[in-house]
Amino acid sequence: MTVALSLLIVAVTVYAILRRSEVRLTLLLGALALGAVGGDVGLIVRTFLATLTNEQYLIPLGCSLGFAYVLRETGCDRHLVHLLARPLRRVRWLLVPGVVVVGTVVNVPIISQAGTVTTIGPVLVPLLRAARVSPVTSGAALLVGSSLGGDLLNPGSPEMRTVSAGTPSHPSGPECAAAVLRLLPIHLAVAAAVFWALSRRGEARWRKANPAPPAAEGGEAEGFRVNLFKAAIPLVPVALLFLTALPRPFRAVTVPREWLVSPPAIAPAPGQEAAAAAALRASFDSRLIGAAMLVGTVLAGLTAPRRAGATVRAFFEGTGFALARIISLIVVAVCFGKGVEHSGLAAQLGRLIAAAPGLLLPAAVALPLAFAWTCGSGMASTQGLFGFFVGPAVALGVDPVTVGAVVSLSAAAGRTMSPVAAVVLMCAALTETSPGDLVRRVALPLAAGVLALLLTALVTA
């Protein structure tokens, strides 16, 4: 009876999201209802408060979004985009796949998909328009590049923090990102290739229907002088994090642990040493990400010393944005996941996978993709569902970090084809198209990419 009632609550929650209800409110009400069914509403309240103050999310995400705002304030992000877009002006037949690549690269340091679109759009949309690329193809190329998973290569992304915190061994952010790196190239290559083929056919039809060429527009790309120092700054924090994560003989940067975390004032109780060490390492990893973003922030600020006050203000505006738009969604998604777990649905899923082990990875693809498509958030999907797959993965001897990479990439694909996702709406607004047209253009390429992702994961896992 409890399981049936919990399934009904989940179905009502999904239906409400599909009806465009506010995602945070809907997930939180669903979590409270699941807590009531399980007989422990207090569990949801405790989870809400604990997650809201969890440095695993506050420090990395706050500093990452603060850094992204500083890049925008100082113009460093535009210099990187112009540097990446420069070759595309000379090789027009690679323009569409090139836009996908540029979006993916820029999405690594700027972990917000909508932020990535607003960064690259003013540069690339006029370039696409001048090359007579149709609005739908232009918007879809921006969408695929900005939303398909480039941010998952950033150890400070919300999904990588979720995988790190939810895995029993608490791997570092770079280790989680490395698992994504093993899967993303094939996933992206297949999706981009299918998208390119469909776009060429679509462009041929569009040119026949629109024979009169528009006036060439160079946009702000004309005459822009790239500062290589500014262009390199967006990639500095990510580079630092990977350099600190290399094995000992090759590690280029070593950060003493005492620089970022203090040793516990009280020795852990007997038998709790391993848990205390894991918590200390998780705290260090979170603060290391924050410190790397601060290094990038300082370097970006040095490029515009006369705007130091505005740079600091931009940093804290970014941290506020992270709390209001990203961490808040994490909080309610964690609450909803805790409610599903407490209701017994997670245990039912575990038993189903244990009885049919071959369902582990297909379920890790299908469920996050469907949930992200419903709510328009890949991060909420990963946060809410990843924990359900950890226990079954450990029981089957499958690396949970690999499963986390599959969940995260599938959720990103679901978000990219969701008509209610912010990044879809932003791409449609920039190119004056409809979200439905963009979703229809990217749906088949994303399905092909997800299938390639699943096959790759089955082979490597």
Report d(CA 160, CA 152) in Å as an integer.
7
pLDDT number for residue 91: 72
Report d(CA 271, CA 277) in Å as an integer.
11
Question: In a 3-state reduction of DSSP, which class is residue 417?
Answer: coil
Report d(CA 136, CA 86) in Å as an integer.
22
User: What are the extents of the domains in the chain?
Assistant: 2-206+220-262+274-460
- pTM > 0.95: no
Which amino acid would we find at residue 197? A
Which residues, 6+ apart, have CB-to-CB distance to 382 below 8 Å? 158, 159, 162, 163, 368, 404, 407, 408, 411
pLDDT number for residue 325: 81
> Minimal CA–CA distance to 382: which of 353, 358, 343, 410?
410
pLDDT number for residue 216: 45
pLDDT number for residue 393: 93
Question: In a 3-state reduction of DSSP, which class is residue 256?
Answer: coil
Tell me what percent of the chain is helix, strand and coil, each rounded to the nearest 5: 80, 0, 20
Residues 340, 346 contacting (CB under 8 angstroms): yes
Give me the residues of the chain with pLDDT under 70, please.
212-223, 247, 249-250, 265, 271-275
Element (H, E) at 439: helix 435-460
pLDDT number for residue 222: 57
Two structure tokens written together for 42: 């207090």
